[in-house]
Structure formats: structure tokens, C-alpha cells
Amino acid sequence: MSARRKNLIYLTGFMGSGKSTIAPILANTLGYSYRDIDSEIELATGKRVSELFTDHGEKYFRDVERRLLQDASRLEGCIISLGGGTIANEINLQIVKSSGVLIYLAASVDQIMRRVRNKSNRPLLLTPEGDRLSEDALQHRIAILLRERIPYYEQADVTVVTGDQPVGLTIDKIVRSINGLVE
């Protein structure tokens, strides 16, 4: 019998896959609380994620992220929205897989492009100088990062394609998919 607490649900997927939109609605639907790891990082450090990357680098950001993920893994009855790269680290993936159910919100490169192209708060989608990437460079960067992360995302217990459907339909798909996985 698994020691996994089945009422802790993690949402993973690339930036723009819908994690931050879906998490609070799913939490409300299931009667759970909800946490967003990136928001928790900003609260703990007093800085925006983009500032942490600029001021301290990705390694510092990932160290803070791991510590807060470890804290979150002790929660009960909670939906946790992970950062797009959180589980692209074996330690983080192990924390998640050993403490709850992992749901991968999948989206195509084109869908992600449409959702994030005008966002300036996504440090991995900016030039080293902090400027927006060109459309072609942005698409290339997303494709590369997505290709690197898919092997981690695919270790999820459940995969739900977010597509261009209404959020409510995605929530319904998730609820049906986790039937039997959560208490």
C-alpha cells in the first residue's frame, strides 16, 4: 500500500498551460485549499520571480522553490500549482510523487505562444537584458524548454490536454480523471 496522501494534488505543465487559472477553481470544486508555488516564493522572498532570476539567478530561485515545495508537501486537502520547471528536477519530482497525485496540464507550443507572448513577467522568455524575445525566438525557446521538460511532465499520474476549450470543461476532465486517485 502506498504511503502517498491522496488528497494532495499537484498541477504541473509548461508556463501558460493553465495551472494558475485552473488550480483555484479545481480547489473550490473539490473543497480543497490552494497554493501557487511561484506566489509562495514571492511572498517568502518579498520579490517577484523575475526579480529573483535577475538579482540572484536561477539556482537561487530553484533552491527557494525546493524548500517551499518540501513545506507544501506536508499539507492536506490542497491543490498546489507548481512552476513550469519545478519538476524538471529529480528531487522535486520525488517530493511530488511521494506526497500526492500529479496532474500534467498539456498544451501545444502554439497554444502556449498565444497565452504567454505578451507576458513580461516570464524570465525564461526574455533576453538576458530583460527584453521580450522576437516571435520566432520566443517560439524556438518555448519548443526547446518544452522538449526538455516533457519527460518529467509525462511522469504525472494523469495528463489532461487543456487545449482551447472552456476552463469548466478542463475542470470536469480533471475531476473525472482523478476519480479513484483522491480520497
Q: Helix or strand or coil: residue 180?
A: coil
What is the reported pTM? Answer: 0.89
d(CA 11, CA 158): 10
Per-residue pLDDT of the chain (183 residues; tens, 9 = 90+): 344 456 899 999 998 899 989 999 999 999 999 999 999 999 999 999 888 888 998 899 999 999 999 999 999 999 999 998 999 999 999 999 999 999 999 999 889 888 887 666 666 677 777 777 788 988 898 899 999 999 999 999 999 999 888 999 999 999 999 987 877
Q: Where are the domains of the chain?
A: 8-172
Q: Helix or strand or coil: residue 163?
A: coil
Cell numbers for 39:
506566489
Angle at alpha carbon of residue 78, lines to 47 and 90, rounded to 5° = 65
Name which of 151, 9, 20 is nearest 87 in CA terms.
Answer: 151
Q: What is the CATH number of domain 8-172?
A: 3.40.50.300
Q: What pLDDT score does 46 carry?
A: 96
Q: What pLDDT score does 182 carry?
A: 78
Q: What's the DSSP call for residue 81?
A: E
Write the single-letter amino acid at 87.
I
